[in-house]
Chain A
Amino acid sequence: MQKMLVSPSPHIHTDLTTRRLMLDVIIALLPATAVAVLFYGWSELLVLSVSVISCVLLEWAITKFLLKRPSTVSDLSAALTGLLLGLNLPSITPWWVVLIGAVVAIGVAKMSFGGLGQNVFNPALVARVFLLISFPVFMTTWASLDMHNAWTIGVDAVTGPTALTLFKENHGAVKDVLMQTGSAGEISDLALLIGFAYLLIRRVIKPWITLSIWATVLIFSGILYLAAPGTYMTPVAALLSGGIMLGSIFMATDYVTSPMTTRGGIIFGVGIGLLTIIIRNWGSYPEGVSFAILIMNAFVPLINKLCKSRKFGRA
């Protein structure tokens, strides 16, 4: 008889891998990516390419030269961070600003904590907020949605404000929130919702964090709207504008930086929803989702400690 393997049970395991999960999230981002590239053209392609390539190369270099560990880029998490970072930036962000963002995301927010699974804060969001504070002009100048201009070489993009900036500055009416000027990944809520559906169908994420953010935003901004309709946005506009869709579907649901239990996830989501509306209405920035998620990331260890799973036979 040939030598047989002997190991403890179980002797079979799922085909699902970390790489497959990351790939599924990347696939779910493809509709939003396609819309962004379509409307923002060459400049968007440049931002996304620089972001993804530099994130992957940085992680490879850090594991090889600094940590002297086997490379982890094949798990695709660095590529995903790169894609998310790119989608969080205006399409006309200069390439070197994108590069700085990648260094912050991978170098500071991810690898210095110990790499995948160890980071407290969502790497792409840390980079977005870092860039927002360091380069406020680049980070709040968006190209207008103009497909013709976007694909013509040599023509400078016409810039335009986002719905939220417009509202913050002159309380103007919000015309069209389903297609809006903004960071690349934020222009089409429909594309993001398709991605959400894909993630749910593939069972990559559970819906509770996302849904509790939406519910909180709707209720909180609904109360404000009813109290002073002229001052505050309608709840639906508040939900569909800015980065709430991208943040609630793709950033707040990041496994590593969100709570483990459903109950914890709901508390986490409610916190993000409340903080987002507070920052939007009374903070100095027009958009608050990124800050809200990062602040709630910090509470995750506490939430995990307080929201234990319900155990069998210990009611």
Chain B
Amino acid sequence: MQNLTFKMGGIHPDDKKISARSKVEILPLPEKVYVSMAQHLGAPANPVVAVGDQVKVGQVIAEPAGFISAYVHSPVSGTVKSIGPRADLAGNMVKHIEIEVSGDEWMEDIDRSTTLITKIPQDNAFILDRIKKCGVVGLGGATFPTHVKLAPPPGKKADCLILNGAECEPYLTSDNRIMIERSSEIIVGAAIMSRVLDNCPVVIAIEENKSEAIMIMSSALNSLAKTMPECGRIAIRVLKKKYPQGGEKQLIDAVMGRQVKSGGLPIDAGAVVQNVATSLAVYEAVQKNRPLITNVLTVTGDCLTVQHNYQFRIGVPLSFITEYAGGVPNEAAKIISGGPMMGKAIANLDATTVKGSSSILYLTREQTERRQETACIRCGRCASACPMGLEPYLLYKLSKVGDNAALEENAVQDCIECGCCLYSCPAGVPLLDLIRPAKGNVLRIIKSRK
């Protein structure tokens, strides 16, 4: 079978998976954690503990503040020291709960054993409630609450659940590692989600550069299939290596050959996309009653001597991780949370990890410094690279003059901010830097009309 890919645009940056062979290590406990109330898409959670309270690992410390919101659990045991605003990765002030760590005492109802449980609960409401109560959110980047995504609105039906193992961002290897080390749990998680979605078929989509993960996931699926009839609905498909393959719309196009309509949701095209790490979190929530309090992140960079993948407690300060990994390399000029294409440059290492943290990436000045902008030569590379079929050179010009009507006409609101345009410009034109805020303006205008 030919490897799949999306049809429009895309780029081929060096994938730099230099940490792909580093086994997941368990990060030790820090003295303090700071748990953000805004680590999911939607309304920030409301704290339900007070300063001075004793908390255990896995105890609910904040409750959802709306339909699209999520529970937050204590990742450690100890004492709540403070509740208040603190700078997040990007420097925005967000409410955090500070917990001083003492011991490692877990809630008794959490199954901490490593026994694989393949028997899936029959009650969909029970499954969705577990996922919700365990604070599971999408770990592919958007951190959208998973129980909401798994409950399509009335009249909409999922024809396919796509498990996103593309990990198309260069450098990132946490998904690769969990597919190698936790393959069976991920597959059972997929089977659970398929059940909730009326037993829809599942495609686990993995890019071709992760051959070890493809092999191990395939053999895990084969051996599970002997005892789990649900596995008959699950298939593994190999994707070509192309960025942004892991983008939801691109992945649906690659796997199902369907285009999500502009302004529409994946479910409109009959698709639900969940990250492999989310599937693991679903498994732990439903089968083990274990809330989302840990995740795996990659610490990597060409200027870093030893590459790492860590399982961390959510809320651990970034500085604790960078120190444990040997300190910030001298050559590092930029530290990024996430991948080099869509990640955020970190202004502040005192910020803490959140549910969706996927990496700490060091880039040298030479690797990351923007080139001086020279004249656009109208070569059209930005338009060829755009996976949404937009004309970035035109949107850039329109953004400069703030022509919102023309921007909307030229579909700036469809931009997924993947960065392919800016990446591929030979003249160093900062296309996305201007298109991104212009898109924000146009989206606000569209919203105000409704």
Contact = CB atoms under 8 A, between A and B. Distances in A.
Interface of A: 1-2, 4-14, 16-18, 20-21, 72, 75, 77, 115-118, 255-256, 260-261, 308-315
B424 interface: yes
Given A4-B335, A117-B375, A12 B423 contact: yes
Contacts of A12: 13, 170, 340-341, 363, 367-368, 423
B260 interface: yes
Contacts of A312: 8, 249, 253, 259, 262, 387-389, 414
Nearest to B260: A313
Interface string B254-272: 0000011110100000000
Contact of A72 (B13, B370, B374, B388): B374
Given A261-B380, A310-B8, A313-B249, 18 more contacts: A4-B334, A4-B345, A8-B345, A10-B419, A10-B422, A10-B432, A11-B368, A13-B422, A21-B379, A21-B426, A116-B374, A255-B378, A312-B249, A312-B253, A312-B262, A313-B259, A313-B414, A314-B414
A185 to B, nearest CB: 22
Could you say which of A5, A9, A11, A311 has the most chain B C-beta atoms within 10 Å of its C-beta?
A: A11
Interface string B391-434: 10100000000000000001100100101001111111000110
A6 B334 contact: yes
Contacts of A118: 375
Contacts of A16: 381, 424, 426
B375 A7 contact: no
B365 interface: yes
Contacts of A5: 333-334, 345, 365, 368-369
B349 A13 contact: no
Contacts of B363: 11-12
Interface string B337-360: 000111111110100000000000
A260 B419 contact: no
B123 to A, nearest CB: 36
A314 B432 CA distance: 21
A106 to B, nearest CB: 15
Contacts of B332: 4
9 contacts: A6-B347, A10-B340, A11-B368, A14-B13, A14-B424, A117-B377, A255-B378, A261-B383, A309-B390
Tier of interface size on chain B: 35 or more
B322 to A, nearest CB: 9
Interface secondary structure of A, over-half rule: loop
Interface secondary structure of B, over-half rule: loop
B371 interface: yes
Nearest to B368: A11
B117 interface: no
Given A9-B341, A118-B375, A17 B368 contact: no
A18 B426 contact: yes
A43 B215 CA distance: 66
A217 B264 CA distance: 45
Interface in B300-349: 328, 330, 332-336, 340-347, 349
Contacts of A17: 371, 426-428
Nearest to A16: B426
Could you say which of A7, A12, A72 has the most chain B C-beta atoms within 10 Å of its C-beta?
A: A12
Could you say which of A4, A9, A21, A116 has the most chain B C-beta atoms within 10 Å of its C-beta?
A: A9
A13 B363 CA distance: 12
